[in-house]
Structure 1
Amino acid sequence: MAPPLSANAFIAALRAEGLDVVQVGDWRDHNRNHAGPWGPVHGVLIHHTVTKGSARTVEICRKGYAGLPGPLCHGVITKDGRVHLVGYGRANHAGLGDDDVLRAVINEQQLPADNELNTDGNRHFYGFECENLGDGEDPWPAVQLEAIERAAAAVCRAHGWSERSVIGHKEWQPGKVDPRGFTMGSMRDRIGERLGGKAPAAAPLPAPRRPVVDLSQLVAAARANPRASGQPVTYAGVRTVEAALVNQGLLAKRYSDGHYGTTTIAAYAAWQRKLGYRGDDADGIPGKASLTRLGDKYGFEVVA
């Protein structure tokens, strides 16, 4: 989890990885930021374009088309291995995907099957569109595959991520097939080697047991803060709730410290408002209904 790189840092990272970068028009200011937030970012998404011809591919990815305005990614990787920067900021490339996949990317774990459309991927992923018809027959030149490897590694290196932060569109959104013609497993292996050695085995998925959050203890911790002086009262279940609020995009990870302070209260209030609560019902103090909804979404059990 991290704020997006600046445009200058992004292009510098790509060039430092040895890529031939082409700047297209006003790419630094061409985005969809007016349509929703950009960041925090968690990973890199790889696509194929279903187009033929580099110039046409770059133009489509920059401008978009009827019903889907551009930019459609941040960088277009053409068959000659060049990376064409067409936009920076929020881009129409990922769409809605699976929150379980996002959590696995954040934790750099083995990916679960993508079977839900409930999370805004345009907010959380860098996107590279790769020129290819996507029919399983159009070849992937070696120079293009190397550029994909280098581009993804560049972003991961800049953020301190491993190759497990790189996924394919087909691993994010149910029904998608891209990229087709190479496996994401083999591409992650390449990225891992570039980042400093053969990748370790994927971390196992969490054991199928659910953490338990005691509502009364959580409320006591929430009502004890903020204090004018002294150490805030806390409860171990606060960290479970804070982790869920971080994954929901309502709490910055640096504030996930186990103390139900003013920042956590504000984040939980935002969750209550998201569920439709208003006024005193959205005061940031957990109630059983709102906490159960959060637990159902992020895998913890609530006891009264």
Structure 2
Amino acid sequence: MAIPLTAGRLLAILKAEGVKTAEYPGWTGRGRDAATGRTFGPVHMVLNHHTAGTTSLTVVAKDGVAGLPGPLAHIHLAKTGVATMCSAGRANHAGTMAKNAYDSFLQEKATHPAPSKASGTIDGNDVSYGIETENLGNGTDVYPRAQYDAWVRINAAFCREFGWSAESCGCHKETSVEGKIDPKGPVEGYSTRGRFEFTPKQLRADVAERLKHAASWSPTAPTAPKPPTTPAPKPPTDTERITALEKRVTALEKRTA
């Protein structure tokens, strides 16, 4: 059983994992517990989203959208890689989860089935931490390298704290019965890897790799291409030196003749 973290502890585990953090005003006391009469926790997974917009911090942290009051996640992750704390309590991010999908994360299975409403449903806001990662979600907007690196670190921080494997890290499209598509889009790169398409499987693989190391670990940075070098000229051979000397002597004789 994983009891939700205090605001202070949540901030601490992210900093220990090397995440750059910020705090939205009032985040430590903001949540949907009192308003809904439902208790946040125990928690069993992390759920990842994209914001489907830009400049969305206030919407995620406080305002919410029509029919869905804020906070809309526990963490807002900007393109700069800065994670802003939005809530330490219950947040409106997960919505209704298919039970078959949720169970696969709860049991940390190696594969996760497509969400089926026929399997039953649960309120995902009760049992999961939510990360809203800034991206248009149009399939072309790129997740910068710094943002993806922080994304991996945040997921790993929760797993490390609760003793979870990377199979406790899910994506909204893997649990939603409402046809959610997030997250999606290209990633600029990670570690020595160049551009690639975001997939939940790759995110979990990168989290799993991170969990093999200490929280202070940083992946290998890409190697900068070496500038082209001009090869050093070869020294002249004895024959070439003699020939050059003979030419100079001949030229001198012509000038003095």
What TM-score, normalized to structure 1? 0.62
Letter in 2 for 1:19: V
Q: 1:178 is matched with which residue: 167, 176, 182?
A: 182
Task: Spell out, residue by residue over 1:153-185, the C-alpha distance to the aligned partner (whole angstroms, 9 max, x if none).
Answer: 001100000100000000010301000111011
Q: Report the CA distance between 1:102 and its aligned residue.
A: 1.7
Letter in 1 for 2:146: V
Identity over aligned pairs, percent: 41
Unaligned runs of 5+ in 1: 198-304
User: Aligned runs of 1:89-104 on 2, under 5 Å?
Assistant: 89-104=89-104
Task: Spell out, residue by residue over 1:8-37, the C-alpha distance to the aligned partner (whole angstroms, 9 max, x if none).
Answer: 111100000001100010101100012112
Q: Does 1:80 align with 2:83?
A: no
Q: Report the CA distance between 1:135 and its aligned residue.
A: 0.3
Q: Report the CA distance between 1:106 and its aligned residue.
A: 1.4
Please give the alpha-carbon distance, in whole angstroms, between the structure 1 residues aligned to 2:66 and 2:167. Answer: 34
Please give the alpha-carbon distance, in whole angstroms, between the structure 1 residues aligned to 2:44 and 2:68. Answer: 23
User: Aligned runs of 1:111-190 on 2, under 5 Å?
Assistant: 111-116=112-117, 118-174=121-177, 175-181=179-185, 182-190=198-206
Structure 2 SS opposite 1:76: strand
Please give the alpha-carbon distance, in whole angstroms, between the structure 1 residues aligned to 2:181 and 2:66. Answer: 22
Task: Spell out, residue by residue over 1:64-97, the C-alpha distance to the aligned partner (whole angstroms, 9 max, x if none).
Answer: 1221110000000000000011111100000011
Unaligned runs of 5+ in 2: 186-197, 214-257
User: Aligned runs of 1:195-210 on 2, under 5 Å?
Assistant: 195-196=211-212
Please give the alpha-carbon distance, in whole angstroms, between the structure 1 residues aligned to 2:7 and 2:102. Answer: 24
Please give the alpha-carbon distance, in whole angstroms, between the structure 1 residues aligned to 2:203 and 2:121. Answer: 26
Structure 1 SS opposite 2:56: helix
RMSD between aligned alpha carbons?
1.1
User: Aligned runs of 1:261-272 on 2, under 5 Å?
Assistant: none
Q: Report the CA distance between 1:101 and its aligned residue.
A: 1.6
Q: 1:47 is matched with which residue: 46, 49, 53?
A: 49
Please give the alpha-carbon distance, in whole angstroms, between the structure 2 residues aligned to 1:141 and 1:115. Answer: 33
Please give the alpha-carbon distance, in whole angstroms, between the structure 1 residues aligned to 2:42 and 2:91. Answer: 14
Structure 2 SS opposite 1:129: strand
Please give the alpha-carbon distance, in whole angstroms, between the structure 2 residues aligned to 1:120 and 1:46. Answer: 16
Letter in 2 for 1:183: T
Letter in 2 for 1:111: H
Q: Which moved more, 1:113-122 or 1:22-31?
A: 113-122
Please give the alpha-carbon distance, in whole angstroms, between the structure 2 residues aligned to 1:139 and 1:102. Answer: 28
Please give the alpha-carbon distance, in whole angstroms, between the structure 2 residues aligned to 1:6 and 1:38. Answer: 12
What TM-score, normalized to structure 2? 0.74
Letter in 2 for 1:128: I
Letter in 2 for 1:115: S
* Residues matched between the structures, number: 194
Q: Report the CA distance between 1:5 and its aligned residue.
A: 1.4
Please give the alpha-carbon distance, in whole angstroms, between the structure 1 residues aligned to 2:159 and 2:142. Answer: 26
Please give the alpha-carbon distance, in whole angstroms, between the structure 2 residues aligned to 1:43 and 1:130. Answer: 17
Q: Report the CA distance between 1:103 and its aligned residue.
A: 1.4
Letter in 1 for 2:32: R
Q: Does 1:32 align with 2:32?
A: yes
Runs of 4+ that moved beyond 4 A: none
What's the counterpart of residue 208 of structure 1?
A: none
Please give the alpha-carbon distance, in whole angstroms, between the structure 1 residues aligned to 2:106 and 2:68. Answer: 28
What's the counterpart of residue 60 of structure 1?
A: 59
Query: Greater relative contact order: 1 or 2 (C-alpha under 8 angstroms, separation 6 or more)?
Result: 2
Please give the alpha-carbon distance, in whole angstroms, between the structure 1 residues aligned to 2:171 and 2:157. Answer: 17
Larger Rg: 1 or 2?
2
Please give the alpha-carbon distance, in whole angstroms, between the structure 2 residues aligned to 1:107 and 1:32. Answer: 27
